[in-house]
Structure 1
Amino acid sequence: MAEMTLPKALAELAALEDPKMRAANEKRGDDHGINLSRMRALAKRVKIDQPLAHELWATGETPARLLALLICKPREFTADELDAMLRETAAPKVNDWFVNYVAKKTPLAEELRRRWFEDADPTVAAAAWSLTTDRVVKKPEGLDLERLLDLIERDLKDAPARLQWSMNESLAQIGIHHPEHRARALEIGERLQVLADYPTPPGCTSPFAPLWIGEMVRRQER
């Protein structure tokens, strides 16, 4: 295909806008009206393009930033660039894709995890906890899991929603993957009751840590 320029990319994104989709997304805090499968199809046609990704991000527009996250090269961002980008991810889907498609994929992930862990901005701290969960599951060596549980026990109940969700995920994954800490993880979850009443569709696993841990452990033991 011909080279994708910023004006062409923005025009294609505009053509994908659907008012009904926007109304549904706005209920979740996302200011765009694009079916994400169509967004991914567009990204597949554009292919990886770091310069264009920078231009798209600089627009500040949610659809453009989502496309940028699909076509960028995570390893080509500096730590300071990634820090600045994270602090601009107000829209939930932009934040989700940034953390999962960029922050977790960069070789700087551990440096950023440490940098962000005690940040006063809950969005930044939430990203640090997401990166921590990744390590809890994939590379726990060197993590102080008891200290993580101490922090979760202290802060989970009153944490802002995005941070609470990330900390709760760490709590559950510690309980699932580290049997020596399972009893404490379950006790913390039962006592704090965070997400205990979260509406969970039939066939899906509840994010309430004790139920989540129990279900995943049962699957492991089958």
Structure 2
Amino acid sequence: MDFETVMQELENLGKERTKKIYISNGAHEPLFGVATGAMKPMAKKIKINQPLAEKLYSTGNYDAMYFAGIIADPKAMTESDYDRWIDGAYFYMLSDYVVAVTLSESDIAQDVADKWIASGDELKMSAGWSCYCWLLGNRSDHEFSESKISTMLDMVKNMIHHSPERTKSAMNNFLYTVGVSFLPLHEKAVTTAKEVGIVEVKRDKKKSSFLNAYENIQKEIDRDRLGFKRKYVRC
């Protein structure tokens, strides 16, 4: 399938209701409003196609950018490719669910995520923390430095309440993910989550969200889901 065919197919799959939901979450034109599940048949046909992914991502069309993440070749992308993608990610559904997810399947994931976390830019920081969530929820515990993840838990404790809104959300998710999916630091994550308490995330034109990583970790403990790992990161 070539670029024009994919764009036409995405347009055909668009739904006005889905488009409104995406816009209410921060997406803007151009977009068609394609449900992510509706992209699967097309993704199966194309499989991996990095040149096509690059072309789709550069359109600025939300649905095309999302689909680009599904067919991208994470290991073929360089650090500058990821930087270009994060620069084009204008809201959190792109930064955290397209760019961070794609990055998490690459060999340079932690190095790039570390730089983004240190950047001071809201969506880069959010993508960096989110990337670690995808990594910790999928890869074996021994692939991570325990002391590094421990230091990151301390960063969350000290910085979460003063961080930008989207970054707060991703940091809170990191706390939860370490508590559930990274067994060596489960206890520390639980203690840290308790100390952090409730995190308020303010949102444009919507009510604030109140996040509680401690409660959510407890729910997973009750469900006997400690040590949970995803088989796949990308859909």
TM-score class, shorter:
0.7 to 0.9
Larger gyration radius, structure 1 or structure 2: 1
Aligned partners of 1:85, 1:221: CA distance in 2, in Å?
34
Bigger strand fraction: 2
Aligned partners of 1:102, 1:77: CA distance in 2, in Å?
9
1:48 alignment partner, SS class: coil
Q: Corresponding residue for 2:41?
A: 41
Structure 1 residue aligned with 2:199, among 189, 194, 206? 194
Match runs of 1:52-67 below 5 Å: 52-67=52-67
2:224 alignment partner, SS class: helix
1:156 alignment partner, SS class: helix
Deviating 4+ runs (over 4 angstroms)? 134-137
What letter matches 1:111 in structure 2?
A: D
The answer to whether the 8 Å contact 2:100/2:127 transfers is no
What letter matches 2:117 in structure 1?
A: F
Unaligned runs of 5+ in 2: 202-209, 227-235
How well do the aligned residues superpose, as a CA RMSD in angstroms? Answer: 2.6
Q: Which structure would you say has the larger RCO, counting Cα contacts within 8 Å and 6 or more residues apart?
A: 2
Aligned positions, number: 208
TM-score between both structures, scaled by the size of structure 2: 0.77
Unaligned runs of 5+ in 1: 197-205
Aligned partners of 2:217, 2:20: CA distance in 1, in Å?
35
Structure 2 residue aligned with 1:27, among 5, 10, 24? 24
TM-score between both structures, scaled by the size of structure 1: 0.81
Mark the CA change 1:92 to 1:123 in structure 2 (over 3 Å): closer, same or farther.
Answer: closer
2:26 alignment partner, SS class: coil
| CA-to-aligned-CA distance 1:2-50 (integer Å, 9 cap, x gap) | xx22122212222222222212221122343112221222222233211
The answer to whether the 8 Å contact 1:87/1:123 transfers is no
Cα distance, 1:187 vs. partner?
2.8
Cα distance, 1:127 vs. partner?
1.8
